[in-house]
Copies of this chain bind each other. A is one copy, B any other.
Amino acid sequence: MKKPGILLVISGPSGAGKGTLAKALISRHSNIELSISATTRDVRPGEKAGETYYYINKEEFLEKVTQGLFLEYATVYDNYYGTPRDKVLEALDKEVDVILEIDIQGAMQVKKNYPDAVFVFVVPPSLEILKERIICRDREPLEEIEKRLQEVKKELSYIGEYDYVVVNDEIQDAVDQMECIIKAEKCKSTRRFISFEEKGE
Residues of chain A at the chain B interface (Cβ within 8 Å): 120-121, 123, 125-127, 156, 159-160, 162-167, 176-177, 179-181, 183-185, 187-190, 192-193, 196-197, 199-201
> Considering only CB atoms, which chain B residue lies closest to A190 in the complex?
B160
> Considering only CB atoms, which chain B residue lies closest to A176 in the complex?
B183
> Considering only CB atoms, which chain B residue lies closest to A128 in the complex?
B200
Nearest first, the 10 closest Cβ-Cβ pairs linking A and B are: A184-B184, A180-B180, A180-B183, A164-B187, A127-B200, A165-B192, A181-B184, A180-B184, A126-B199, A165-B189
Residues on B with C-beta less than 8 A from A199 are: 125-126
Q: Which of B121, B163, B183, B201 contacts A177 (CB 8 A)?
A: B183
CB distance from A43 to the nearest CB of B (A): 38
B165 A193 Cβ-Cβ under 8 A: yes
Known: A184-B184, A184-B185. A196 touches B159 (CB 8 A): yes
Known: A197-B156, A200-B126, A201-B127. A163 touches B181 (CB 8 A): no
Q: Which of B164, B165, B183, B196 contacts A123 (CB 8 A)?
A: B196
Question: What separation, in Å, do the CA atoms of A160 and B194 have in the docked complex?
Answer: 10
Known: A123-B196, A189-B121, A197-B156. A164 touches B183 (CB 8 A): no
Question: What separation, in Å, do the CA atoms of A180 and B159 have in the docked complex?
Answer: 21
A187 B200 Cβ-Cβ under 8 A: no
